[in-house]
Homo-oligomer: A and B are copies of this chain.
Amino acid sequence: MNFTRPTLILDKKKCLDNIRFMADKVRRHHLQFRPHFKTHQSAQAGEWFRASGVSRITVSFVKMAEYFAAHNWKDITIAFPFNIRETDTLNRLAAENTINIVAESEETLNFLGENLKHSVNIFIKIDTGYHRTGIPAAKKEEIARVAGSVKQPLVFKGFLAHAGHSYHASSKDEILTVHGETMEQLRRLKEEFQSGYPDILLSLGDTPCCTLADDFAGMDEIRPGNFVFYDVYQYHLGVCESEQIAIALACPVVAKHRERNEIIVHGGAVHLSKDFITRGDGSKSFGLAVELNQESWGKPLKDTYVKSLSQEHGVLKAAADTFEKFQVGDVIGILPVHSCLTADAMKGYVTFDGKAIEHLEGVGNFY
């Protein structure tokens, strides 16, 4: 590859290893695997999951459900509080597929009950501590009221949680505590509602918990997504090794500033997104640098990181040896802080064998 412009490389081997790791774990725990496809958003990466036995998937919005339905996925959970302005599309999708949606309000369920023509499965979103969406697990009456508003052609299936507060944990133990508390809340809810709803399913899924935990007692399915690529954020959290990060942005070096040991690359906020981690000294890091080779990339270059991003510029703070190694016109790899957002920004990948891997919004741009 020429890498004349910022290009997102997908290391297929690392990606397949990540898929295998999670698929093996799911099998060991007799869970149903419903991976979230919002990270890769790619028909081809979807086929890699299919080859490992996956037949049910999760997406984060209706258009993504349409895309994967068009690529022959027949059982799709749209894990986002359902947007009733998209009811027509939901009707079309549900006519030919098993569609599971997430709701947390009577208004939404009443509207769908009146306007849907095809059967759609409902999961009630439970807030187990993240406090973004969902009904707090302790609010049994509200949950009962919402479950009671599920009317034909809707079918109440169970409870769904996303323990997103695992991303704010500061240690592996804390992540496992979040996981344990989430499971406990879901199991108690199931017990509470079992008499009225004997077939309740419990679904959870976030990459930190699903990667680190080895206890899934009582759970029916998991829905992690980010693990397909992992990223610097997960590495920083202690969830993955840097070697597991499966995408890197190839960035041309355009300038060097010796007095500051800074390397300027074409590769900015529109490519990587503006998510960052906070380093030990309080400064921000928007990515780690790696040296690219013909088949993959090496470990993160020591004491080298992306200290700031503008729209198109990336500024790398470089250790002395890294500063000397890279010249204007060379290409340097950046491991992203948040792979979901980087993949979404780039809208396409290239593998080391030069194949374009598409993304929902476009086919890989590479040069």
Which residues of A approach B to under 8 Å, CB–CB?
2-5, 38, 60-63, 80-86, 89, 104-105, 107-108, 111, 131-133, 164, 252, 254-257, 260, 264, 266, 269-270, 273-275, 308, 310-313, 315, 327-329, 331, 340-341, 344-345, 347, 361-362
Residues of B within 8 A of A61 (CB): 5, 266, 312
With both beta carbons as reference points, the residue of chain B lying nearest to A313 in the complex is identified as B132
Least CB distance from A120 to B in Å reads: 16
Least CB distance from A109 to B in Å reads: 10
**CB-based contact A105/B273 at 8 Å:** no
**CB-based contact A264/B81 at 8 Å:** yes
**CB-based contact A313/B133 at 8 Å:** yes
**CB-based contact A256/B105 at 8 Å:** yes
With both beta carbons as reference points, the residue of chain B lying nearest to A6 in the complex is identified as B61
Least CB distance from A88 to B in Å reads: 8
Least CB distance from A105 to B in Å reads: 6
**CB-based contact A327/B107 at 8 Å:** yes
Least CB distance from A328 to B in Å reads: 5
- Taking a contact as CB atoms closer than 8 A, the residue among B4, B62, B84, B86 that contacts A85 in the complex is B4
- Taking a contact as CB atoms closer than 8 A, the residue among B81, B254, B275, B312 that contacts A254 in the complex is B81
Instruction: Check A270/B341 contact, CB under 8 A, given A5-B61, A132-B264.
Output: yes
**CB-based contact B80/A254 at 8 Å:** yes
Instruction: Check A84/B311 contact, CB under 8 A, given A255-B104, A273-B274.
Output: no
Cα A55 to Cα B255 in complex, Å, equals 29
A-B contact pairs, 15 of them (CB 8 A): A4-B86, A5-B61, A5-B63, A5-B83, A61-B312, A80-B254, A84-B329, A104-B255, A107-B329, A132-B315, A270-B341, A273-B273, A274-B274, A311-B341, A362-B362
